[in-house]
Amino acid sequence: KESDGGSSSGSESSKDSSRCSTPVLDADRHERLREKMRRRQDAGDKWFSLEFFPPRTANAAVNLISRFDRMGAGGPLFIDVTWHPAGDPGSDKETSSMIIANTAVNYCGLETILHMTCCNQTKDDITGHLQKAKRLGLKNIMALRGDPIGEEWEEEVDGFNYAVDLVKHIRNEFDDYFDICVAGYPKGHPEAESYEADLRHLKEKVLAGADFIITQLFFRSETFLKFMKDCQAIGITCPIIPGIFPIQGYHSLRQLVKLSKLEVPQEIKDVIEPIKDNDAAIRNYGVELAVSMCRELLDSGMVHGLHFYTLNREVATTDVLKRLGIWKEDPRRPLPWAVSAHPKRRVEDVRPIFWASRPKSYIYRTQEWDDFPNGRWGNSSSPAFGELKDYYLFYLKSKSPREELLKMWGEELTGEESVFEVFTCYITGEPNKNGHKVTCMPWNDDPLATETNLLKEQLEKVNRRGILTINSQPNINGKPSTDPIVGWGPSGGYVFQKAYLEFFTSSEIVMALLKVLKKYELRVNYHIVNVKGQNITNAPDLQPNAVTWGIFPGREIIQPTVVDPVSFLSWKDEAFALWIEQWAKLYEEESPSRMIIQYIHDNYYLVNLVDNDFPLENCLWQVVDDTFELLNSPTQE
């Protein structure tokens, strides 16, 4: 750590360099895939990656995205999405490879490789796909030849005939922008003249600019280890990642083997044939087989990462990874909210608190921004949020179908109180009067966060009385950054929060609340707004209020969530609309249930409160108690 510092005075180079760059909380966000791979290898960390194919239907896409979220929690180095020319893979359809990869990167925050094939496509088509991928924030391409159309394959003059042509094209047209992955065939490509010829083709792909290699599946670790040595022998030095295929069923194995023209070793056939109708048995066997093969690979010392062909399923791959001990469900968060992996958003480290439970909506509404707040939100006199017109965008769609929602939120509402009850059941986790648990709300697709649980008792009390809470956090006065509930960021730091409470409530309660808030003028900041945009606030000069921040060793302060008065007006449009789009529309038009929700939408206020005195006991509950006391006092003054 000794370096010659020299003198930096007198230089004139960077007077105008941006001083607002991110304090690099998390190196991962700033590295490209090949750098991450190298850093993991240098550190001796083992890693894994996951391959998915694009779904067939919109519903399957919704499910795949929540699978991304769940499997992303295990810490894959990357995922990849395959490319099927017949399925319109570059289109804007919610099931296209392009859009699925886009969703993985931007909305799930996963490092993602998009496959791309080149045969039977024009240069312009391919350039168009690559430009679109770049625009969407995709940074990695798996360059493949693809299967020729028709029986026999003929070379096209000036066309893309081999994967190497695509690699060259990417490097020519996009310089070093993309990390490029290519396929390796441990047994040689079935169409290659020979194993040796295929190795030479592979080397050409690397020389043309590929950064690493993922192999086709294989059934024995020796196959891969021999292949790797042969690669090294002819001078291929980039990372080579073995493709692992945990056998998950008799038919999927047969189909894959047919496609890849591989032969299943006799010892495997001998086990499988007798149990071919017992899915569970085959899967157990497949997991065992994969675990022992992966162990051999890792123990060889030549393998640092494992690539899994998941077939879009969760259980087998997760089992293998957990048994290998490389599934790392790290409860530690780099920031209090889920980061996006779009390169434009690399420096983003501040967001308004309002979207805490709707991070995908926040990403969607800010996708057109050219730069993202970092360091602090700043005096954003007019952040331009995109409108959330389509509440049925597949990545924003509720995971629960209409019937489920009706069971949770009431087949029939009888008044505002029945709405209060839904909110209360969501908070308490108790079943509603029809025996159904309320596990999601229009503003929150998931059960109550662990942190919110700290406030459960008080939240229950106020929701029963018509303070319909949709977001809250307790005050925190310096807990370790490793705290399992409220911690985030690197270890050795301290995290802080100001108490926050956000809720819908009637104008009657708002009138009393405003009287009470006078007593708390210096301590509590408030914003109170109705659907028409009538806005009451005591925020000074419309400045944002930092409500979450962290102090870390050797770093500047990170303040990742703020209450921003201006953004709140964009959020309120969304928050009010969710009453109608997600809840009211479950019921027939003109039905009493629908009219109740419509009434609330039209007449309630959305309120947020911040208690600035974070070292003291949270006073927001006292504010609410005082409000109800005022309402109940005979002389209401």
Please list the active-site residues.
Answer: 51
- CA atoms 4, 9, 13, 15: torsion sign: positive
Residues between 342 and 371 that touch a copy of itself (CB under 8 A):
365, 368-371
SS3 category, 46: coil
Residue 2 binding a copy of itself, by CB under 8 A: yes
Q: Does 525 bind a copy of itself (CB under 8 A)?
A: yes
Q: Is 264 exposed, middle or buried (0-12, 13-18, 19+ CB in 10 A)?
A: middle
Q: Residue 217 is which amino acid? A: L
> Please, what is the minimum distance in Å from the beta carbon of residue 455 to a copy of itself?
21
Out of 265, 274, 331, 386, the residue judged to bind a copy of itself by CB under 8 A: 386
Residues across the chain: 637
In the set 266, 382, 632, 635, which binds a copy of itself (CB under 8 A)?
A: 382
Q: Which is nearer to a copy of itself, 8 or 635 (CB)?
A: 8
User: Restricting to residues 423-442, which ones interact with a copy of itself according to CB under 8 A?
Assistant: none
d(CA 482, CA 496): 12
Q: Is 42 in the site for a copy of itself (CB under 8 A)?
A: no
Cβ neighbours for 408, distance < 8 A, ≥ 6 positions apart: 400, 422, 432, 436, 437, 438, 439, 440
Helix (H/G/I), strand (E/B), else coil: 390? coil
Residue 284 dihedral angles phi and psi, to the nearest 5°: -60, -45
Both tokens of 504, joined, read 């819908």
Q: Which two tokens stand for residue 510?
A: 């708002």
Using CB under 8 A, which of the segments 120-128, 322-330, 372-380, 453-461 binds a copy of itself? 372-380
Terminal-residue alpha carbon distance, the chain? 68
For residue 142, the one-letter residue type is M
Dihedral of CA 374/376/382/387: which sign?
A: positive
How many residues make contact with a copy of itself (CB under 8 A)?
84
Per CB under 8 A, 5 contacts a copy of itself: yes
Footprint of a copy of itself on residues 615-634 (CB under 8 A)?
Answer: 615
Tell the smallest beta-carbon distance from residue 524 to a copy of itself (Å): 9
Strand (E) or helix (H) holding 567: helix 565-578
Query: What span, in angstroms and rounded, lies between the C-alpha atoms of 248 and 256?
Result: 11
The correct pick among 317, 380, 463, 471 for binding a copy of itself (CB under 8 A) is 380
Any contact of residue 482 with a copy of itself (CB under 8 A)? Answer: no
To a copy of itself, the closest distance from the beta carbon of 246 in angstroms equals 39
Of 44-52, 57-65, 403-411, 520-528, the window that binds a copy of itself (rule: CB under 8 A) is 520-528
Cβ closest to a copy of itself, residue 156 vs residue 371: 371
Options 218, 395, 426, 614; binder of a copy of itself; rule CB under 8 A: 614
Establish if 128 lies at the interface with a copy of itself (CB under 8 A).
Answer: no
Q: How far apart are CA 217 and CA 220, in angstroms?
A: 10
> Is 492 or 592 the residue whose CB approaches a copy of itself more closely?
492
Q: Interaction with a copy of itself in 449-478: which residues (CB under 8 A)? A: 477-478
Residues 80 and 88: their CA atoms lie apart, in Å, by: 17
Rounded to an integer, what distance in angstroms lies between the CA atom of residue 488 and that of residue 494?
Answer: 9
327: its two tokens: 């599934």
Sheet holding 494-497, edge to edge: 351-352, 558-563, 545-551, 494-497, 476-480
Query: Tokens in use for 481?
Result: 């950054």
Interface of this chain with a copy of itself, residues 541 to 600, rule: CB under 8 A: 541, 543-546, 549, 551-557, 559, 562, 566, 569-570, 573
Residues 306 and 244 sit within 8 Å (Cβ to Cβ): yes
- Work out which of 19, 135, 433, 518 binds a copy of itself, going by CB under 8 A: 19
CB of 112 to a copy of itself, least distance (A): 25
Candidate list 32, 276, 322, 376; residue touching a copy of itself; CB under 8 A:
376
Q: Which stretch binds a copy of itself (CB under 8 A): 10-18, 31-39, 238-246, 390-398?
A: 10-18
Count of C-beta atoms within a 10 Å radius of residue 221: 19
Q: What span, in angstroms and rounded, lies between the C-alpha atoms of 68 and 65?
A: 5
Cβ at position 621, least distance to a copy of itself in Å: 19
Contacts of 569 (CB under 8 A, 6+ apart): 529, 533, 535
Q: How far is the CB of 350 from a copy of itself (least distance, A)?
A: 8
Is 1 a binding residue for a copy of itself by CB under 8 A? The answer is: yes
- What secondary structure does DSSP assign to 391-407, as a single string? TT-TTTS-SS-HHHHHH
Residue 6 binds a copy of itself (CB under 8 A): yes
Exactly one of 280, 540, 589, 637 binds a copy of itself (CB under 8 A); that residue is 540
Nearest residue to 402 (alpha-carbon basis) of 178, 163, 583, 620: 583
Q: What is the nearest approach in angstroms of a copy of itself to the Cβ of residue 451?
A: 20
Q: What part of residues 489-508 is at the interface with a copy of itself (CB under 8 A)?
A: 492, 494, 496
By C-beta, is 322 or 479 nearer to a copy of itself?
A: 479
Give the residue, chosen from 247, 378, 461, 635, that forms a contact with a copy of itself under the rule CB under 8 A: 378
CB of 127 to a copy of itself, least distance (A): 27
Shortest approach of a copy of itself to residue 194 CB, angstroms? 49
Note whether 635 binds a copy of itself by CB under 8 A: no
| Residue 156: HSE in the Cβ half-sphere, 13 Å Cα cutoff | 15
Closer CB to a copy of itself, residue 219 or residue 552? 552
Member of 9, 237, 632, 635 binding a copy of itself (CB under 8 A):
9
For residue 16, the minimal CB distance to a copy of itself (Å) is 5
518 binding a copy of itself? (CB under 8 A): no
Assess 43 for contact with a copy of itself (CB under 8 A): no
Residue 444 DSSP label: B
Which one of 166, 282, 499, 529 is in contact with a copy of itself (CB under 8 A)? 529
Q: Which of 68, 78, 160, 377 binds a copy of itself (CB under 8 A)?
A: 377
**Least spacing, CB of residue 181 vs a copy of itself, in Å:** 28
User: Cα torsion at 422, 425, 426, 432 (round to 10°)?
Assistant: -70
**CA 364 to CA 500: how far, in whole Å?**
24
